[in-house]
Amino acid sequence: AQSVTQPDIHITVSEGASLELRCNYSYGATPYLFWYVQSPGQGLQLLLKYFSGDTLVQGIKGFEAEFKRSQSSFNLRKPSVHWSDAAEYFCAVGGYNNDMRFGAGTRLTVKP
């Protein structure tokens, strides 16, 4: 089955600084990749997704992610972080059997 690793449990960045959250996946076929954001006490909101085509995908709230097959990675980036971006971020990989596997999440703290 597919799996996802998010190496960073917690990241702190200053407001206005750039951000990169790492995600590595394991899957035997072409992966379907997602980034979700979860604010405290809230559900999961989709930021962006990759199914095929252009390996650089744009999402909501100014986020983007780049699929790199050679590195089995799908890192999330944002050029300038806002205080409202503080949340938990989950990378997920979808398989053929209608199930998604999530990484452990990366908690983002934004310093003023």
Query: Residue 4 in contact with residue 101, Cβ under 8 Å?
Result: yes
Cβ atoms of 6 and 63 closer than 8 Å: no
- State the distance between the two ends of the chain, measured CA to CA, in whole angstroms: 41
Minimum CB distance to another protein smaller for 3 or for 14: 3
> Shortest gap between Cβ of 80 and another protein (angstroms)?
26
Rounded to 5°, angle at Cα 73 from 20 and 94: 110
Residues that bind another protein (CB under 8 A): 32, 34, 36, 42-46, 49, 51, 90, 92, 94-105
Nearest distance from C-beta of residue 98 to another protein, angstroms: 4
Q: Are 105 and 36 in contact (CB under 8 A)?
A: no
Q: Which of 13, 35 has the CB closer to another protein? A: 35
Nearer to another protein, 42 or 55 (CB): 42
In whole angstroms, how close is the CB of 51 to another protein at the nearest point? 7
- 50: number of Cβ within 10 Å: 22
- To the nearest whole angstrom, how small is the minimum distance from the Cβ of residue 41 to another protein? 9
Write down the residue that tokens 């744009």 correspond to. 58
- Given the complex with another protein, which of 49 and 77 has the nearer CB atom? 49
